[in-house]
Structure 1
Amino acid sequence: MNELQCRLARTALGWGVRDLAKIANLSTQTISRFEKGDELRPTTLKKLREVFEAAGIEFIDESDGKGFGVRLAKASDP
């Protein structure tokens, strides 16, 4: 998951930075720093990805030059 996928996933779920921070038990500063391009510790990045996946987000890897993205697999509740 990269910073753009994080923003796309939040948007798909209708979550703001505060929502994600609360659900993932992280600071809003951590989320904002990541979405601005800062690297996170692998454990923090894993935690974010797990939160999104539990909420129904599927991460789409880049293939054949078609880019990366996210897909909402199921309805979710924060």
Structure 2
Amino acid sequence: MLISASQCRMARAALGMSMRELAMAAGVSVNTLGRIEGDGNVTSRTLVRVQEILARSGVVFRRDGSVGIGQPPREDP
């Protein structure tokens, strides 16, 4: 399930990340992130990249459209 524009905005706000910080972490431009959060046209690959960054930061995306914050997944050495 790919995240919605509102889930991206909520997740970023819950983490206290600026658009610039998330864009840099995901390797996309601030304009691209603005299109994601504005429900604009972006590739699914770009959307998945942003979603993965948010999930690695501990965001849980729920099917009802809400988001939560949990523990970031552990990375195995």
Coarse TM-score class (shorter-chain normalised)? 0.7 to 0.9
Q: List gaps (5 residues or longer) in structure 2.
A: 73-77
The residue aligned with 1:71 is: 68
TM-score, normalized by length of structure 2?
0.85
The residue aligned with 1:51 is: 53
TM-score, normalized by length of structure 1?
0.84
Instruction: Tell me the matched-pair count.
Output: 70
Structure 1 residue matching 2:8: 3-state secondary structure: helix
Root-mean-square deviation (Å):
1.1
After TM superposition, the runs of 4+ consecutive aligned structure 1 residues lying more than 6 A away are: none
Deviation, 1:33, is: 1.1
Q: List gaps (5 residues or longer) in structure 1.
A: 63-67
The residue aligned with 1:39 is: 41
Once the two structures are superposed, residues 5-51 of structure 1 have per-residue CA deviations (whole angstroms, 9 ceiling, x without a partner) of 00000001000100100111100000011111103201101101110
